[in-house]
Structures are given as structure tokens and as C-alpha cells.
Chain A
Amino acid sequence: MTLDNSRRRFLRSLALGGSALALASCDRLAQGGSFDALLRETEKLTLRAQRALQGRHALAKEYTEADLSPVFRANGTQMPDSDEYASLLENHFADWRLKVDGLVQHPQSISLDELKRFAPRTQITRHDCVEGWSAIGKWQGVPLGRILDVAGLKPGARYVVFHCADELEQTLDGSGRYYESIDLVDAYHPQTILAYGMNGKDLPVAHGAPLRLRVERQLGYKQAKYLMRIEVVDSFAAFFGGKGGYWEDRGYEWYGGI
């Protein structure tokens, strides 16, 4: 039945063409413009709703040793590709210093040994990647709030920006360097720590040695690795893409609580 066949073919191409057209218009809507701006408004609603439900100090669930992932997947950079990092690593980070500056009263330059002299906090928490996988690990470090207290915040301080040693994307202008930012609510959260230990050992290079951020109520891309410098700011608009982080500049939400 050629008539039937051609009719069927026509209907099928109509359906396929229709859905292709619909999806193509979704693609167009997704690429900037007012609809994309509307979609981005959702992030504010999510942030406000979650903050209202959490309160300041609601803790992320802490697990037991029995729950630890047998293999904790290392993600993003596994080994920063720079001479500076290579020489720091060679020296077991004896020359590494964490700089704390920006809107602080007393800028700091803290060695790993000095960090370890602060009362440590150990927590077994779940790391949730934006992609959908989860891993449970044990982290040991110093609460970020302690470091900020030592440095003393200046009026106007609103965000803490984390500058990292790794370049996730090789670019000429340096915009491929990893960085992240959180606000002061998360910065002073009791589980927000600068971790130098993982699963009972020194933080491995693949997981961000010598120091990484743990901000447990948010997704994996917020957990910046290879920390070099902490900068307290009133706005992160001036950094790189202006969205407050490496992945944020590439389309992820700044608030990674969902």
C-alpha cells in the first residue's frame, strides 16, 4: 500500500519534525535571553527556601566509619600542572602558605603546621556530585570560621573567595584557574572546614593536597581543592567570569545546595 506508506512516512516526518522544532526552540531559549534569565531566577528561590528551612546551623548528616566509600572518586583536577605546585609537593608542602587577605583586619600567611595546631574537626560526610554520584569520606581540618576570626572581618565583608592552584582549563588569560566562593552563612557553618586530612591520612594530591574546602550542605563543585589563598570580598563580580566560581562561570548555579 504505497499510499498508506507515504501517508505514514508523512505523519512520521511531521511528528519528528515537530519534536525537533520544539527541541530546537528549547535550545535557543536555553542560550541566554529573557527566558534563560527567568530560569536563573529559580536559584534565588531555591537559596531562600533552603536557608529558611535549614536555619544557620542545621548540620549535614554525619556517617560512621562503616559507611565510608571503599573508593572515593577523585574528580576535576587530579594533579595541578604547574612548576609552582610541583615544587611545593616535592617539599611536602613545607613551603606552602595559605594566604588570607581582602576585607580582613589582619592578613594571614599560615603554614600547614600552624593550621594543624588549631582544634581540628573530623566529620564523615557525603560528597554529592552535581553529576549525580555520591561518595562518603572522612575529613579532618580546621573550621573556616576560626581562621576568619583570627584574621578579623572588616565591615562590608560578604563572601569568601577560594583561589586554587589548579587550572582545570588551559587558557591564555588564566580564566581556567579553579576558584570558588561562599557567603558568610556557609563560611561560619560548623561543618565548613579547611580539610588537610582524608580518611585518616594526609589529604591525597588527587583530592586537593594540601588543603581543600568542605562545605557540606552544597554540591561537589563547591568543595574547592588545592587552596592557595582565601580572599574576603564584598562582591565576586570582578573575578574571571563574575559568577563566583569556575563552574559558575560555565553555567552552574552559584548556590550548589541542590
Chain B
Amino acid sequence: MTTPVLAGADAGNDTPVAPRRRLIRRHSLVVRLTHWLNVTCLSFLLLSGLQIFNAHPRLYWGQYGADADHAFFEIGNRADGDTLHGFLRAGPLRIDTTGVLGVSNEDGSPTARAFPTWITIPSYHDLGAGRRWHFFFAWLLFFNGLIYLGHGILRGHFRRDLLPDRDQLSPRHLWREIVDHARLRFAHGEEARRYNALQKLSYMAVAFVLLPLMVLTGLTMSPGVDAAFPFLPGLFGGRPSARSIHFVTASLLVAFVVVHVAMVILSGLWNNLRSMITGRYAISDEDTSP
């Protein structure tokens, strides 16, 4: 990209006075590369993970869990005469989800399957292939995460950019950020140089809590890994519990991505995208008061 460092002119199409616009270096090469590799890995992990989940779409808590045991969450189906009804059950709550969850079209006819063909890899039922995709991208995610964490610690990225500054942690400041987010008012000028506190806290939650939890609960489902690290199943309350946490944490990651992408779009899609591709982020010095 050949964006000039001083790009005052191209920002002034709809404002009479063009605010001065400077491009700052926002993301290092390692952060950009690991970010997009992460996007790739998580996408394939999610879709192949749903294929694996389809093989046994029930979640348990405890040391064991199979068909005869109590499942606290289930995507299933029941036959009503000739027609199949799909449902999702969470605890005592049961919703009819025919057409999407439990029962959906496969090759044109309603088929009993938890997640529909358009959201699983492969689209058709193939647990073996789903596992191959899953473990391939799991390894890739693991190495990618190591590089990201190593870089973040050694180069001070976490301390400098992700750890909230003291002034950002006061209740008043946090409350103002929540209100600003709700009104879709985003930082400008000097304040846009750093992440806001909500950003920092959610990025830290993803990088240091959710993703490590995904890896650890994933490993706990492996009987081979459990033999090597016998404390793992105990840490999560059993393999079925680890599997449930794996599913819930994946759902939280999906929720994060939805909010993250929405914020990227609302706070300046091209500027944000450019910063994650070329590393450069535009800051305008316009007056922030309305």
C-alpha cells in the first residue's frame, strides 16, 4: 500500500475542513501475521469442531457421560409420526429448532443431524475427516499461539498495549467507556493511539483465558495426553466436563468475534483493516467534542 504518511486531503470529502490525518504504526508484523493465522485456524476449528460435536451432540458434567447419563445440554430430534422435529435442550429449557438444529436438510430431505450441513466441515457426516481438519488446525493454532505469546512477552507488546493503564481502570472511566460504546462513540485523536480499556480487557480475556482454555480442555479430551498429565481431567472435573467447557468456551469465542467484527466495522472498517494488514492506522487530529 502506498498510503502517504500525511494524508490530510483524502479524508476531507464530506467535511468542509479537512482534519489533519496521520498514519501511526499500530501493529507489528508478528501481531498481524499471527492475527490472520489465528482467524484461519479458529474458522476451520469451529466448523470441523461442529462436525465432531455432531457425532455425540450431548454435554455432560463429571467423570463419565454417555447416553444413559444426564446431559445438561443436548441437540436432538424426535419423531412425530412421519416428521422429524429438531430441538435444542439446555437444562429444563427446550426449544424447537427444526430446520436448523437437530433436523435439517441434507441432499434435499430432512435429516437428523445436530448442526446443519452449511456449518460443518465436511458438510456431510464424516467424523474421521472432521477430526483430521480439527487436529491439523489445532496444531497450527498451538504453534501460532506460542509465537504470539513469546513475541508479546519478549517485545513488551502485552505490557505496553494490552495491560490497561492506571487511569483506564477507575470505575468512572470504565463507566464512561461503556456509555461511549453503547452510543457508538469511538476515540479520536491522541486517545485513539491506545486501545480503550474494554478492548484491552476483552483482548486479554481471549488471549490469556479463552484460547488457553480451549487448548487445555481440548488436550484433556485426549486419553494419551491424560496419561502424560494425569492432573488435567481433575483440573476440569473430568473429561466430559472438559468437553463441555470446550464447547462453552468456543461459544464465547464466537460471541467475541461477533462483537469484535461489529466494532471493527463501526469504528472505521478500512482504517482498522489496513492497520491489521499494513500495520498503519490513521489518527485524525480533529476536535473530539461534538
Contact code string A23-62 (vs B, CB < 8 Å = 1, else 0): 1101100110000101110110110001001110011110
Contact of B240 (CB < 8 Å), options: A50, A59, A134:
A134
In the assembly, what is the distance between CA of A250 and CA of B131, in Å?
13
Q: Which residues of A contact B63 (CB under 8 A)?
A: 63, 67, 126, 134, 136
- With both chains docked as a complex, state the minimum distance between the C-beta of A82 and any C-beta of chain B, in angstroms: 27
Contact code string A104-134 (vs B, CB < 8 Å = 1, else 0): 0000000000000000000000101111111
- With both chains docked as a complex, state the minimum distance between the C-beta of A93 and any C-beta of chain B, in angstroms: 27
Asked whether B56 lies within 8 Å of A132 as measured between CB atoms, the reply is yes
Asked whether B227 lies within 8 Å of A42 as measured between CB atoms, the reply is no
Asked whether A40 lies within 8 Å of B128 as measured between CB atoms, the reply is no
Binds A, one of B3-11, B83-91, B149-157, B216-224: B216-224
Asked whether A250 lies within 8 Å of B136 as measured between CB atoms, the reply is no
For the complex, count residues of A whose C-beta is within 8 A of B.
53
In the assembly, what is the distance between CA of A61 and CA of B257, in Å?
37
In the assembly, what is the distance between CA of A20 and CA of B55, in Å?
22
Q: Which residues of A contact B133 (CB under 8 A)?
A: 26, 30, 39
In the assembly, what is the distance between CA of A18 and CA of B117, in Å?
14
In the assembly, what is the distance between CA of A23 and CA of B64, in Å?
34
- With both chains docked as a complex, state the minimum distance between the C-beta of A255 and any C-beta of chain B, in angstroms: 8
Q: Which residues of B contact A216 (CB under 8 A)?
A: 223, 227
Contact of A129 (CB < 8 Å), options: B56, B68, B129, B229:
B56
Q: Which residues of B contact A219 (CB under 8 A)?
A: 223
Q: Does A218 contact B (CB under 8 A)?
A: yes
Asked whether B56 lies within 8 Å of A30 as measured between CB atoms, the reply is no
Contact code string B16-57 (vs A, CB < 8 Å = 1, else 0): 000000000000000000000000000000010000110110
Known contacts A27-B121, A50-B225; can you find 14 more A-B pairs with CB under 8 A?
A: A23-B47, A26-B121, A42-B139, A69-B66, A126-B63, A130-B127, A131-B56, A132-B52, A133-B56, A133-B66, A135-B66, A251-B126, A253-B131, A258-B135
Residues of B within 8 A of A (CB): 47, 52-53, 55-56, 58, 60, 63-69, 117-118, 121-124, 126-129, 131-133, 135-136, 139, 221-230, 233, 238-240, 243
Q: Closest 5 CB pairs between A and B?
A: A257-B224, A251-B128, A71-B68, A132-B56, A53-B228
A-B contact pairs, 29 of them (CB 8 A): A16-B118, A19-B118, A27-B123, A30-B132, A39-B132, A42-B136, A53-B229, A54-B227, A59-B230, A60-B223, A60-B226, A60-B227, A63-B63, A67-B63, A67-B64, A71-B68, A129-B56, A129-B66, A131-B55, A131-B127, A132-B243, A133-B65, A133-B66, A133-B240, A134-B64, A218-B223, A218-B224, A252-B127, A253-B132
